[in-house]
Amino acid sequence: MHLPHQRGPLHDLPDTPDAYDAVLADATEQALARLTPEGCLEHPDALDDVGDTSLGITSLLALAWQRGQDPRLPRAVRRSLAFHLRERVYTEDNPGYPNLRITDSGLPYARYVLEAGAHPIGDWPSTVWALLQAVNVLDAAGGLLTDEQRTELRELAHGYWRRLTEVTFFNPQEAGNQAIGCVVGGLMLAPHLPDGEGESVRSRALALYTEEIRAHRVRDRGALLPPEHGGAYDNNYGPISLSFLAQAHRVSGEEVFAEDGDTLARYLDARLTNGGFDNGGPRYSEQHSGFESVLGLRYFGARIGADLGRYRGDTRWGRHAVQRDGRIDGHFAFMLVWQIQDTTRWHRTPSAAPARHQLRSGAVSVAFDSRMTPSLVEADGTYYLPAAVRRQHGFGPVADGFLLCRPMGRVRVRDVRAGGLTAKLVTKPVVGRDHVLRHVRSLYVTDGTALWVTVAVERLDGAPYLLSGLPYAADDGDRVRRTAEGAVASAGGLRLTHPTDTGPDHFDARAELAQEQAAFALAADPRGYGNPDEGWRHLVGSTALEADPAPGTPDGLHVFAVRYGPGGPFAPAFHGDEPGLTVRTEAFTAVLGDPAGDALGEPGLTLSV
């Protein structure tokens, strides 16, 4: 079973001017063949996300005419724009839509579903998208539109803006990408309006960003991020927000968009594996966007010097939205317009700066959550999620069924590089069920091929083990497939266990079930609207790698040692002395200093090949 949405890295798609002209040429031929006598360019199978789509394809035709001067296009642009102005502009309130501050305003909006009252929940973002499609057509209007059409379209766009910012509650779905998109629409509309009106719209757009978006950012892993459906980051919508921030900076020059984009980009770089796999989020836990993400990943990857294009997008939407038959849909067409207009090229080498919430080298990566517990481990092309035991999730020592990974105090981190090795030492105080405060020292070392993890903690009662992850997925060419195994070695005994209980709160990695499906089954709200991360937190137990303590460890300590990835025999040695704990493996020697021996209580780490 392959994961449906995580496919190829987005930087694998050619982005030269010739490649984009070929994309536009294909879109042109599809559009001209589809254009109805009425001027409609909508895909015949489109049912939702439809109110702006004909106008979106119109904007692509306008851009194609700008670049190639195809003589067939001016008439097609005028006919299709006339269709939108005549058939897809709604001014009567949609029955059942509750997010109105003013009723019967008469101002225009776009519908998510064309039938009145059928599904009005998406009308706000559909109106944002219609505004963005409209301003793209206005930007390309010279020589294409009649004066009457141009005036009518400008007035319509201004009406959309007023509907979004005066008539409805702003950002009713608490979706950062939609809200920033609205701000971008205002910034792009402003130059098309008379001076006084234009300056008013621009000022209002900047104020909305500051007061309604930036002031409500959510903290995750040390970064302040635009909220997506109530959470900090969503791997479908988060990169789309990054694209909107890129466009906001491109069209306004306001530094705040660059600063916030840099923050989001560094956060994304830290959570993203080398192979581009990611999961987790408040809306779609492992769905990925495609072309909608390209502008932001490329623009801010270049700004921060990181290879964000490794992000695995849904390449079925690699150029533009499509329906099931693979034919073009106009949804989100503005993003294709913007990425064609932007001349930034992909930054293809990893950032060299160490990141607190990431360890990365070669084909190995560890992404850490806010508690500095691994949220995703990648080695040898296999991805490991935090396992679950008795409703506790993470990587760490387990004693009497209690997982010791939640910090009770300050978490300290030390990054070291030496002789081609990259290492991170994480020290955190934890409290067990016995109320005893213990220091858990977790050492992560990689040579870019394998990952060595050593965890030391004061001796535990009973038969402790190290919860070492849930093998979940593996690279398979240009796809990611589900798996239930991985190449892992342990200094002590190693077991791969599976839940004996059944039901949605027990996840067996051998089943053909995606994490996203399992998470939504446990979420409080319907699939697509609930928070799968919250649902996943209700997981009681999962498939898990369990590593026993290593033999021959110093008195008073339990030490666990595992290696992810390829390698020969694995028999690390441990020695305790006054400086701390010495760990010797086939690849390195590390000395973990005793925090009590440092004047500031900082953990020491030395590393040698």
Quote the percentage of the chain above a pLDDT of 90: 91
Work out the number of other CB atoms within 10 angstroms of the CB of residue 222.
13
Q: Please say if the pLDDT value at position 599 is more than 80.
A: no
158-170 pLDDT tens trace: 999 999 999 999 9
Average pLDDT, the chain: 95
What is the SS3 assignment for 565? coil
Across 290-315, average pLDDT: 97
333-352 pLDDT tens trace: 999 999 999 999 999 999 99
Give the integer Cα–Cα distance in Å for 334 and 309. 20
CB 259 within 8 A of CB 209: no
User: Given the DSSP bridges, would you call strands 506-507 and 541-542 parallel, antiparallel or unpaired?
Assistant: parallel
Q: Please say if the pLDDT value at position 325 is more than 90.
A: yes
pLDDT value, residue 597: 59
Nearest to 426 by CA among 457, 385, 393, 458: 457
pLDDT value, residue 595: 64
Give the phi and the psi of residue 108 in degrees, each rounded to 5: -80, 155
pLDDT value, residue 283: 87
pLDDT value, residue 7: 93
459-509 pLDDT tens trace: 999 999 999 999 999 999 889 999 999 999 999 999 999 999 999 999 999
Q: Which residue has the tokens 């928070």?
A: 531
Across 2-12, average pLDDT: 95
Work out the number of other CB atoms within 10 angstroms of the CB of residue 149.
17
Give the integer Cα–Cα distance in Å for 136 and 192. 11
Across 569-596, average pLDDT: 89
Nearest to 377 by CA among 441, 468, 457, 467: 468
pLDDT value, residue 503: 94
Across 25-48, average pLDDT: 97
Q: Please say if the pLDDT value at position 238 is more than 70.
A: yes
Q: Please say if the pLDDT value at position 80 is more than 90.
A: yes
Nearest to 5 by CA among 347, 366, 289: 289
Between 528 and 435, where is the model more confident? 435
Q: Is 214 exposed, middle or buried (0-12, 13-18, 19+ CB in 10 A)?
A: middle
Classify the phi-psi angles of 551: left when phi > 0, otherwise alpha if psi is within -120 to 50, otherwise beta.
beta
Q: Which residue has the tokens 């900076």?
A: 249
What is the SS3 assignment for 112? coil
B/e letters for 260-293, b = 16+ CB within 10 Å, e = fewer, are bbebbbbbbbbbbbbbbbbbbbbbbbbbbbbbbb
The amino acid occupying position 295 is L
Q: What is the pTM of this model?
A: 0.97
Across 360-370, average pLDDT: 97
Tokens of 303: 């700004």
Q: Please say if the pLDDT value at position 234 is more than 70.
A: yes
pLDDT value, residue 469: 98
The amino acid occupying position 311 is Y
